[in-house]
């Protein structure tokens, strides 16, 4: 691969952009994400909906954890709670040992959604620069970092394009580059490849593995796809719906992310883990939960 080795803050960056990296050492002592007894209820006109009921979860620093489950199992809700885009009804969350709100204000995590969510009036480059710009990084530092990231995701030639000139897969790669802009130690991803076709999807999955190996960031990854979860993760958290709960945690262990390649998808160990996750999803009653995509 033609990507340069990941460079920790050697770029002429200064100021807040460096903050997450600077806190890295201290942060690695605490787990990336700690969820204890979290409950989230939504009240609507038709009554109360329990989206999450007593959820516990620990994501170690540098670990890749997928959340999988049928629609309505609260996996996206859980991710939003970690990102402090929503607040739990009860229970506690910590990101690197700190409340999510503090982690958010410290820019401890990067985030990517199902929609790429690029600002349509900004070029690819300035979209990647957005978080750096908002947090007051200098122009030179922003440019250097954006160039580095666009090379990393293989879009250096498209820096001046506008988002609508890019395909969905390319837009999503820009969104991932943007999420990595501030060298977060944690990446939160909510079905980022959900809208992509199968071939593009496999391609960006492999790319994500490589990026993750290069950055050493922990990842919490929400998905509908069992093979995707197995291929990417160190552990797969299987959730069930109504109420949203953690049903089982399936360890994957297909080797270090940097050694994993497309060949793994045809490996027996891979199929074995896919089966394990599927069985966990089906549960003891043997019926397939709706909304899970078994591709």
Partner 1 sequence: MRRQVLLGVAGVVALGLAWEGYKLLAPDDGVVVGELTVLPRTTDVAMPHLWDMAARALEPVNSATDALPLWVAVLVAAAFTLGVAAVGWVVGVVVGLATATVMQRFRTAESALLPWVVLSQTVPLIALAPLVRRWGSQLEIGAFDWRDWMSVAVIAAYLAFFPVSIGALRGLSSPDAVHLDLMRSYGVGWWRTYRSLRLPAAVPHLIPALRLAAANAVIGTVVAEVSIGLRGGIGRMIVEFGASASADPAKQWSPIFGAVLVGLVAAGVCVLIARALARYRVSEVS
- Footprint on this chain of partner 1 (rule: CB under 8 A): 83-85, 104-107, 109, 111, 113, 115-121, 130-131, 133-135, 162-164, 168, 171, 195
For residue 94, what is the DSSP state?
E
Nearer to partner 1, 163 or 244 (CB): 163
C-alpha span between 21 and 233 (Å, rounded): 23
Work out whether strand 90-95 and strand 33-44 pair parallel, antiparallel, or are unpaired.
antiparallel
Nearer to partner 1, 168 or 283 (CB): 168
C-alpha span between 19 and 40 (Å, rounded): 31
**Shortest separation between residue 76's beta carbon and partner 1, angstroms:** 11
Nearer to partner 1, 45 or 164 (CB): 164
Buried b (16+ CB within 10 A) or exposed e, 14-26: eebbbebbebbee
Nearer to partner 1, 66 or 172 (CB): 172
Read out DSSP for 184-211? -SEEEEESTTTTS-HHHHHHHHHHHHHH
**Shortest separation between residue 168's beta carbon and partner 1, angstroms:** 6
**Shortest separation between residue 125's beta carbon and partner 1, angstroms:** 14
CB atoms within 10 A of CB 267: 13
Nearer to partner 1, 221 or 231 (CB): 221
**Shortest separation between residue 171's beta carbon and partner 1, angstroms:** 6
**Shortest separation between residue 174's beta carbon and partner 1, angstroms:** 10
């Amino acid at each position: 691969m033609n990507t340069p080795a990941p460079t920790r803050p050697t770029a002429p960056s200064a100021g807040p952009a460096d903050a997450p990296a600077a806190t890295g050492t201290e942060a690695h002592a605490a787990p990336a994400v700690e969820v204890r007894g979290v409950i989230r209820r939504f009240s609507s006109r038709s009554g109360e909906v329990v989206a999450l009921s007593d959820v516990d979860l620990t994501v170690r620093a540098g670990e890749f954890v997928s959340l999988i489950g049928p629609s309505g199992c609260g996996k996206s809700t859980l991710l939003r709670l970690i990102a402090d885009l929503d607040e739990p009804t009860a229970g506690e969350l910590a990101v690197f040992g700190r409340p999510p709100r503090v982690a958010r204000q410290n820019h401890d995590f990067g985030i990517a959604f199902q929609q790429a969510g690029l600002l349509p009036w900004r070029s690819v480059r300035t979209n990647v620069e957005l978080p750096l710009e908002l947090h007051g990084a200098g122009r030179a530092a922003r440019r250097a970092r954006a160039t580095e990231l666009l090379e990393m995701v293989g879009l250096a030639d498209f820096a001046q394009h506008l988002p609508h000139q890019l395909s969905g897969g390319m837009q999503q790669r820009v969104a991932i580059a943007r999420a990595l802009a501030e060298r977060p130690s944690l990446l939160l991803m909510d079905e980022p490849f959900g809208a992509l076709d199968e071939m593009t999807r496999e391609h960006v999955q492999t790319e994500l593995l490589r990026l993750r190996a290069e950055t050493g960031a922990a990842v919490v990854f929400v998905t509908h796809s069992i093979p995707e979860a197995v291929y990417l993760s160190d552990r797969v958290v299987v959730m069930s719906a109504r109420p949203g709960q953690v049903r089982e945690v399936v360890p994957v262990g297909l080797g270090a992310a940097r050694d994993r390649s497309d060949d793994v998808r045809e490996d027996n160990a891979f199929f074995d883990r896919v089966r394990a996750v599927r069985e966990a999803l089906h549960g003891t009653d043997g019926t397939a939960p709706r909304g899970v995509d078994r591709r």
